[in-house]
């Protein structure tokens, strides 16, 4: 199943927006939810994230593998760090101990569970505002979007090229795995990480070397076309429309409100129902 | 005159078409191959990501900027696809710094004729670059609100162990294969 970035949300409300909006919203949202321990505040932000994700119109079947990985990884992370161990927990205060984890002896209170739920919701909503960057920006718009955000023209073009190379690299990887299987390659089942790494050489090395050899042609083509000249222009002209400004203003307001609430000490404490 | 003397020398900070294309190819490779990782048995969260070996390799072969680009953009795309978004932006910077340090270390090392010695130096240089670059995740103390002990035992230590295994095994292997090809193209 292909999990690389694709233009899945074509035609949706978000894909019609200026691509800079889709790049700036995750930054503003991260500022808004960073360091919030109060579940109610995170849920308030989650409403904005959910509406934003719905506007992206990304078909479920196209991203279910990404969501499956994200939810599995996040669940393990939160359960291990915030419930089973005390790596990322908050003190229980006077909360009643509901039960104790047998091996780690961690006392589980309503505070523990509320904080774990806040962290889990924070991670899931960050994915909601992050996925449109991968699936709602037309590949040809990425370079100009980064350039107009102030990144060097050459590096902006590099980001553009990276996203264009992803599908061919993914295809090349699968071709190489199939070709090596015909030659008798089998994925290592060893529990020894060194043996498993060595067993991956027949896949990693040819994929990398083939990509590098093909890249020489791209370098020559770009040199022949005078890449790197002082006055680079882009085919696409970007301009914010009213909807873009409203979306950015909305997320700026959410970020400003949450930062203010954090400084006033309103969202730093864990909410216990 | 040996092959190394004939190789044109460029500034390590130069951003040419070569830097841009190889940086982009490397970031795409890192993003795709980086989706394959496996857990070290007996640990809770130490994951070996074989593709990490590409970061110091690109730093060594294509310079500081390309190395940083591969680590930073490649890791950011992996995070994007796995749903982490910008949560771990400092880890992307740390990945980029590994590539940049590799570029700096190998730019100032003299050419080595013996293949065996070159492979050992590549492995050691890549490991040093990894150790230095990953130190940036100390910012987790402010970003994630963890203490120094957690940074050392749960973040930096396991990451250095898992990425160190990958770079020591795979970076010299990639470099050994690219050496004759780079001489053939005169780069």
Q: Cα B182–B184–B187 angle (5° rounding)?
A: 45
Tell me the average pLDDT across A208-234. Answer: 84
Q: SS3 of B87, please?
A: coil
**Higher pLDDT residue, A17 or A201?**
A17
Q: Is residue A8 part of a domain?
A: no
> For an interface test with A, which of B18, B85, B146, B163 has the most A Cβ atoms less than 10 Å from its Cβ?
B85
What gap in Å lies between CA A127 and CA A121, rounded to an integer? 10
Tell me the average pLDDT across A113-142. Answer: 92
Q: How far is B164 from chain A (nearest CA, A)?
A: 11
Residue B74 token pair: 């490649």
In this prediction, residue B8 carries a pLDDT of 47
Kindly tell me if the per-residue pLDDT of B30 is higher than 90: yes
In this prediction, residue A256 carries a pLDDT of 96
Kindly tell me if the per-residue pLDDT of B1 is higher than 50: no
Tell me the average pLDDT across A253-260. Answer: 96
Lowest mean pLDDT among A16-30, A111-125, A214-228, B1-15: B1-15
Give me chain A's average pLDDT, please: 87
Q: How far is A7 from chain B (nearest CA, A)?
A: 13
Q: A82, A144, A134: which is closest to A108 by C-alpha?
A: A82
Contact B177 A173 (CB under 8 A): no
Give whichever of A44-48, A86-90, A150-154, A155-159 has the largest mean pLDDT.
A44-48
Residue A48 token pair: 């904005």
- The residues, any chain, with a CB within 8 Å of residue A228's CB and separated by 6 or more, are A154, B15, B16, B17
Contact B28 A3 (CB under 8 A): no
In this prediction, residue B41 carries a pLDDT of 55
Please tell me which residue of chain A has the smallest CA distance to B37: A197
Tell me the average pLDDT across B103-126. Answer: 92
Q: Is residue A119 part of a domain?
A: yes
pLDDT digits (tens, 9 = 90+) for A3-47: 567 788 888 999 999 999 999 999 999 999 988 889 999 999 999
**Higher pLDDT residue, A187 or A146?**
A146
In this prediction, residue B187 carries a pLDDT of 60
Q: B26, B92, B38: which is closest to A207 by C-alpha?
A: B26
Q: Which member of B144, B146, B177 has the closest CB to residue A209?
A: B177
Contact B84 A127 (CB under 8 A): yes
Contact A126 B85 (CB under 8 A): yes
Check if CATH label 1.10.1760.20 holds for domain B11-184: yes
Kindly tell me if the per-residue pLDDT of A242 is higher than 80: yes
What gap in Å lies between CA A111 and CA B146, rounded to an integer? 19
Please tell me which residue of chain B has the smallest CA distance to A196: B38
Q: Is residue A116 part of a domain?
A: yes
Partners of residue A165 in chain B, C-beta under 8 Å: 24-25, 28
- Interface pTM (ipTM) of the complex? 0.85
Q: Is residue A273 part of a domain?
A: no
Question: A60-78 and A110-135 helices cross at what angle (nearest 10)?
Answer: 150
Kindly tell me if the per-residue pLDDT of A1 is higher than 80: no
In this prediction, residue B6 carries a pLDDT of 42
Contact B170 A201 (CB under 8 A): yes
Q: How far is B31 from chain A (nearest CA, A)?
A: 8
Contact B48 A196 (CB under 8 A): yes
Number of Cβ within 10 Å of residue B23's Cβ equals 32
In this prediction, residue B40 carries a pLDDT of 61
Kindly tell me if the per-residue pLDDT of B3 is higher than 50: no
Q: How far is A54 from chain B (nearest CA, A)?
A: 16
- Residue B119: pLDDT band (50, 70, 90) is very high
In this prediction, residue A35 carries a pLDDT of 82
In this prediction, residue B95 carries a pLDDT of 95
Contact A222 B20 (CB under 8 A): yes
Q: Which member of B28, B38, B40 has the closest CB to residue A165?
A: B28
Q: Is residue A5 part of a domain?
A: no
- Taking one residue from A and the other from B, the number of pairs with CB-CB distance under 8 angstroms is 182
In this prediction, residue B186 carries a pLDDT of 64
Domain extent listing, chain B: 11-184
Contact B166 A165 (CB under 8 A): no
Query: Which is it for strands B47-48 and B38-39: parallel, antiparallel or unpaired?
Result: antiparallel
Q: How far is A246 from chain B (nearest CA, A)?
A: 22
In this prediction, residue A92 carries a pLDDT of 58
Kindly tell me if the per-residue pLDDT of B45 is higher than 60: no
Partners of residue A227 in chain B, C-beta under 8 Å: 17, 20
**Higher pLDDT residue, A96 or A71?**
A71
In this prediction, residue B5 carries a pLDDT of 41
Q: How far is B81 from chain A (nearest CA, A)?
A: 6
Lowest mean pLDDT among A110-114, A231-235, B67-71, B132-136: A231-235
Kindly tell me if the per-residue pLDDT of B178 is higher than 80: yes
Tell me the average pLDDT across B104-117. Answer: 89
Kindly tell me if the per-residue pLDDT of B35 is higher than 90: no
Please tell me which residue of chain B has the smallest CA distance to A119: B144
Owning domain of residue A77 = 14-263
In this prediction, residue A175 carries a pLDDT of 92
Please tell me which residue of chain B has the smallest CA distance to A33: B87
Tell me the average pLDDT across A88-112. Answer: 76
HSE value, Cβ hemisphere, 13 Å, CA-based, for A30: 16
**Higher pLDDT residue, A137 or B144?**
A137
Q: How far is A220 from chain B (nearest CA, A)?
A: 9
Any idea which residue has 């050489």 for tokens?
A: A201
In this prediction, residue B158 carries a pLDDT of 87
Kindly tell me if the per-residue pLDDT of B128 is higher than 70: yes
Please tell me which residue of chain B has the smallest CA distance to A120: B84
In this prediction, residue B31 carries a pLDDT of 92
What gap in Å lies between CA A117 and CA A41, rounded to an integer? 12
Lowest mean pLDDT among A80-94, A139-153, B44-58, B162-176: A80-94
Contact B86 A87 (CB under 8 A): no
Number of Cβ within 10 Å of residue A88's Cβ equals 19
Kindly tell me if the per-residue pLDDT of B2 is higher than 50: no
Contact B83 A26 (CB under 8 A): no
Instruction: State how many domains chain A has.
Output: 1
Q: How far is A211 from chain B (nearest CA, A)?
A: 7
Helix intervals (H) in B63-186? 64-81, 89-107, 115-133, 140-143, 148-150, 157-184
> For an interface test with A, which of B25, B56, B123, B167 has the most A Cβ atoms less than 10 Å from its Cβ?
B25
């Amino acid at each position: 199943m292909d999990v690389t970035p694709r233009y899945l949300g074509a035609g949706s409300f978000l894909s019609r927006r200026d691509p800079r909006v889709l790049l700036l919203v995750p930054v503003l949202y991260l500022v808004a939810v960073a360091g919030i321990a109060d579940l109610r505040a995170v849920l308030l932000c989650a409403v904005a994230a959910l509406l934003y994700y719905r506007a992206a119109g990304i078909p479920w079947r196209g991203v279910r593998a990404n969501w499956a990985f994200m939810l599995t990884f996040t669940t393990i992370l939160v359960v291990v760090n915030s419930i089973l161990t005390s790596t990322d927990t908050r003190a229980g205060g006077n909360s009643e101990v509901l039960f104790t984890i047998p091996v780690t002896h961690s006392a589980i209170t309503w505070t523990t569970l509320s904080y774990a739920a806040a962290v889990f919701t924070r991670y899931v909503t960050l994915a909601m505002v992050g996925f449109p960057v991968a699936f709602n920006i037309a590949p040809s718009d990425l370079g100009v979007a980064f350039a107009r955000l102030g990144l060097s023209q050459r590096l902006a073009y590099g980001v553009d090229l990276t996203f264009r190379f992803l599908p061919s690299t993914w295809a090349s990887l699968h071709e190489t795995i199939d070709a090596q299987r015909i030659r008798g390659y089998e994925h290592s089942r060893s529990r020894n990480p060194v043996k498993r790494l060595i067993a991956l050489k027949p896949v990693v090395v040819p994929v990398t070397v083939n990509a590098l050899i093909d890249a020489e042609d791209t370098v020559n083509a770009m040199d022949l076309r005078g890449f790197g000249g002082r006055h680079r222009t882009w085919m696409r002209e970007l301009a914010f429309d009213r909807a873009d400004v409203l979306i950015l203003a909305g997320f700026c307001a959410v970020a400003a409100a949450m930062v203010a609430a954090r400084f006033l000490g309103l969202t730093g404490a864990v909410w216990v129902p | 005159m040996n092959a190394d003397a004939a190789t044109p020398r460029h500034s390590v900070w130069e951003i040419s078409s070569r830097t841009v294309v190889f940086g982009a190819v490397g970031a795409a490779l890192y993003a795709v191959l980086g989706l394959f990782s496996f857990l070290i048995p007996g640990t809770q969260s130490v994951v070996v990501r074989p593709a990490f070996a590409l970061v110091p390799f690109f730093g060594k072969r294509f310079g500081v900027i390309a190395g940083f680009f591969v680590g930073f953009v490649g890791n950011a795309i992996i995070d994007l696809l796995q749903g982490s978004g910008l949560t771990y932006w400092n880890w992307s910077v740390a990945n980029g710094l590994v590539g940049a340090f590799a570029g700096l270390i190998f730019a100032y090392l003299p050419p080595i004729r013996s293949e065996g010695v070159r492979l050992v130096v590549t492995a050691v240089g890549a490991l040093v670059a990894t150790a230095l670059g990953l130190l940036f995740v100390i910012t987790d103390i402010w970003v994630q609100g963890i203490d120094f002990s957690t940074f050392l035992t749960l973040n930096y230590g396991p990451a250095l162990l898992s990425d160190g295994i990958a770079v020591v095994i795979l970076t010299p292997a990639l470099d050994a294969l690219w050496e004759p090809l780079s001489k053939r193209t005169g780069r």
